Amino acid sequence: MSSDILKLSEVSRTFGGLKAIDGMNLSVGEGVIFGLIGPNGAGKTTLINLMSGLDAPNKGTIAISGIDLTGKKAHHFARSGVARTFQNMKLFKGMTVLEHVIVGLDSERKSRFWQMIIPVQSERKERKAVSAKALKILEHLGLAHVADRIADTLPYGSQRRLEIARAIATNPKILLLDEPTAGMNAVESEEIGELLNVLRKDGLSILVVEHNIAFVRHFCDRIAVMNFGQKIAEGLPGETLDLPAVREAYLGASGAERLHRLRAGRNRV
CATH number for the domain that contains residue 15: 3.40.50.300
pLDDT digits (tens, 9 = 90+) for 117-134: 555 566 677 788 889 999
- End residue of a domain, out of 139, 171, 203: 171
Instruction: Mark whether 138 and 155 lie in a shared domain.
Output: yes
Q: Place 107 in a pLDDT band, splitting at 50, 70 and 90.
A: low
Using only C-alpha atoms, what is the Rg of the chain?
21
| pLDDT band at residue 106 under the 50/70/90 scheme | confident
Residues of the domain holding 152: 92-171
Domain end: 124, 152, 171, which one?
171
140 vs 108: which has the higher pLDDT:
140
More confident residue, 113 or 239: 239
DSSP character string of 74-91: HHHHHHTTEEE--SS--P
Within-domain flag for 53:
yes
Q: What is the Cα–Cα distance from 27 to 9, expressed in whole angstroms?
A: 9
In a domain, 86, yes or no: no
Q: Domain check: are 208 and 129 in the same one? A: no
- Domain shared by 73 and 200, yes or no: yes
Mark which of 132, 156, 171 sits at the end of a domain.
171
Count of domains observed in the chain: 2
pTM of the model: 0.85
27 forms beta bridges with 7
Residues 247 and 136 occupy one common structural domain: no
Q: Residue 35: what pLDDT?
A: 97
Check: CB of residue 35 under 8 Å from CB of residue 216: yes
pLDDT of 265 above 60: no
pLDDT 10s digits, 218-235: 999 999 999 999 999 999
Residue 269: per-residue pLDDT: 37
Give the pLDDT band of residue 236 (cuts 50, 70, 90): very high
Separation CA 194–CA 252 (nearest Å): 32
The average pLDDT across 237-265 equals: 71
Does 87 reside within a domain?
Answer: no
Question: CA torsion, points 105, 107, 111, 117, in degrees to nearest 10?
Answer: 60
Distance CA 183, CA 209 (A): 14
Residues 264 and 234 in one domain: yes
Return the half-sphere exposure (C-beta side, CA atoms, 13 A cut-off) of residue 237: 18
Mean pLDDT computed over 76-94: 91
Same domain, 105 and 73: no
Kindly report the three-state secondary structure assignment for every residue of 130-191: HHHHHHHHHHHCCCHHHCCCEHHHCCHHHHHHHHHHHHHCCCCCEEEEECCCCCCCHHHHHH
Distance CA 35, CA 213 (A): 10
For residue 82, give Cα distances in angstroms to 10, 142, 172, 188: 20, 23, 5, 25
Poorest-confidence range of 4-13, 65-74, 104-113?
104-113
How far is the C-alpha of 101 from the C-alpha of 151, rounded, in Å? 11
Question: What residues does 208 pair with on adjacent strands?
Answer: 35, 177
- Give the confidence band of 57 by pLDDT, cuts at 50, 70, 90: very high
266 and 165 in one domain? no
Q: Is residue 203 part of a domain?
A: yes
Q: Over range 50-68, report the average pLDDT.
A: 96
- Looking at the structure, do residues 23 and 137 belong to the same domain, yes or no? no
Lateral strand order in the sheet of 18-28: 18-28, 6-15, 59-64, 67-68
**Are 59 and 76 members of one domain?**
yes
The reply to whether 19 and 127 lie within a common domain is: no
The verdict on residue 164 lying in a domain is yes
74 lies in the same domain as 158: no
Asked if residue 205 and residue 153 are part of one domain, the reply reads no
Q: How confident is the model at residue 206 (pLDDT cuts 50, 70, 90)?
A: very high
Distance CA 98, CA 101 (A): 5
Of the listed ranges 106-120, 128-142, 188-202, 218-232, the least confidently predicted one is 106-120
